[in-house]
A and B are shown apart, each in its own frame.
Chain A
Amino acid sequence: MSSLPTTTPNSGTRFTGVAIGLHWLIAIAIIGTFSVGLYMHELPLSPQKLRIYSWHKWAGVTIFMFVALRLVWRLLHRPPELPAGMPVWQRKAAEATHVLLYLLMFAVPLSGWLMSSAKGFQTVWFGVLPLPDLLDKNKELGDLLQEVHELLNFGMAALVIAHLGAALKHHFIDRDDVLARMLPFLARTTGDIK
């Protein structure tokens, strides 16, 4: 990727504005959609439940598209370097967490879409754009995919907590600029923004 044009040099101390915007937009959308998912599945059947399910599915499709956009942006723009003194195991853990989070940001909505198809409820984005049903209706498969969707979500929640914990640890214990790369107003050093 280093041969590709970049808007942010490797030595930069912050992500690009687009990367920051996509990160926080997707973060808020995922937390919201995850919470709605936790809340909705125990509801008794009602028009409200059908509406909430639809909005949850539409949100998932939307997040998937933003994540695709974000991955393309990420591949074209190298993130700023990590602090020089960071131990190798921490760099590796950070890298692994980020790769897994990207995988899950795709896998979670994908599993929801497949689950929906297997349960016989097509996903029609905002009630307008029908997504194809990749699977035929199959109750057992639908139940299995529901478990998969749930497991992937709890896996993602655990990773998000680790990701958040690491960011806070960098900011408050290591007192470096790792969090400020994604939240520039927190930057401790001055003069290199923009």
Chain B
Amino acid sequence: MNCRLFGPTLAGAFLIIAPAAHAIEFNQFQAGKSALSFVSKQMNVPVEGQFKSFRSKIAFDPAKPAAARAELEIDLASIDAGSKDANDEVAGKAWFNTKEFPVAKFVATSVKPLGGNRFELAGKMTIKGRTQDLTTPVTLRQEGNSATFEGSLVLKRADYALGEGMWADFGTVANEVQVKFRLVATAATAAAAAKK
């Protein structure tokens, strides 16, 4: 059992609902295999970007999705918004204001099975000090010891005060930003657990 990933409170809660020993739980986040990208629309032209640095705490047992836990922390300064100009701009106060708000955080509040390998993930997203409820479908792809959680959702930048002042108008940069995520977690093996 890997409790290192959780804060004390969560860890306590988790231990109580921990599944039987034979159940598989994916809880080793694999940063190198995960990706977080987005597509914004500038003058109706899609422009791709991504975050290069983010951490996730995942604990997911496919047999007990309701007991799943997920958190995601994104280092906003690691953004690649398409060009150097854009990277400098979005770090500034009108956008992410990374000096004051360096990290965006998502904390899952519920996971509902939608049938098959699909789930509905709900949680709270905090960017730039603003917290919003967020719901997204997630597709699980399980390959042996590894689980890939993929999904895409639309964030509205105005909900998080991203693009203030001269950028507030949606005519140039659209309000809707398509976010795509791929999070990979492996199940802790007996050998890995023994090292702890």
Chain A interface (Cβ < 8 Å from any Cβ of B):
45-48, 50-51, 53-54, 119-124, 127-128, 130, 137
Using CB atoms, name the residue of chain B closest to A126: B44
Shortest Cβ gap from A52 to chain B (Å): 10
Interfacial chain B residues near A50, Cβ < 8 Å: 42-43, 172-173
Chain B residues within 8 Å of A, Cβ to Cβ: 42-48, 82-83, 85-86, 88-89, 166-167, 169, 171-173
Given contacts A47-B166, A54-B43, A127-B45, contact A119 B83 (CB under 8 A): yes
CB < 8 Å: which of B85, B88, B167 contacts A47?
A: B167
- Which residue of chain B has the shortest Cβ distance to A119 in the bound complex? B83
Query: What's the nearest-Cβ distance from chain B to residue A190, in Å?
Result: 51
A50-B43, A127-B43, A127-B44 given as contacts; is B173 within 8 A of A120 (CB)? no
Q: How far is the CB of B97 from chain A (nearest CB, A)?
A: 16
Docked-complex contact A121 and B166, CB < 8 angstroms? no
Which A residues touch B172, using CB under 8 A? 47, 50-51
Q: CB distance B82 to A120 under 8 Å?
A: yes
Interface contact A122-B173, CB-CB below 8 Å: no
**Is the beta-carbon distance between A47 and B89 smaller than 8 angstroms?**
no
B49 nearest in chain A by CB position:
A120
Q: Which residue of A lies closest to B171 (CB)?
A: A47
Query: What chain B residues lie within 8 Å of A127 (beta carbons)?
Result: 43-45
The answer to whether A51 and B166 touch across the interface, beta carbons within 8 angstroms, is: no
* Complex Cα spacing A119 to B82, Å: 8
The 3 A-B residue pairs with the shortest CB-CB distance, nearest first, are: A47-B172, A127-B44, A54-B43
> B81 → chain A, closest Cβ, in Å?
10
Listed residue (A47, A51, A124, A130) with the most chain B CB atoms within 10 angstroms of its CB: A47
| B35 → A minimal CB distance (Å) | 16
Of all chain A residues, which has the CB nearest B89? A45
Contact between B169 and A47, CB atoms less than 8 A apart: yes
Chain B residues near A130 (CB-CB < 8 A): 45
Shortest distance between the CB of A48 and any CB in chain B (Å): 8
In whole angstroms, how far apart are the Cα atoms of A130 and B43 in the complex? 12
Identify which of B43, B44, B166 contacts A46 (C-beta below 8 A).
Answer: B166
Chain A hits for B86, CB < 8 A = 45
Given contacts A51-B43, A127-B44, 11 further A-B contacts (CB under 8 A): A50-B172, A50-B173, A51-B172, A119-B83, A120-B47, A120-B82, A121-B82, A124-B43, A124-B44, A127-B43, A137-B48
Identify the closest chain A residue to B45 (Cβ).
Answer: A124
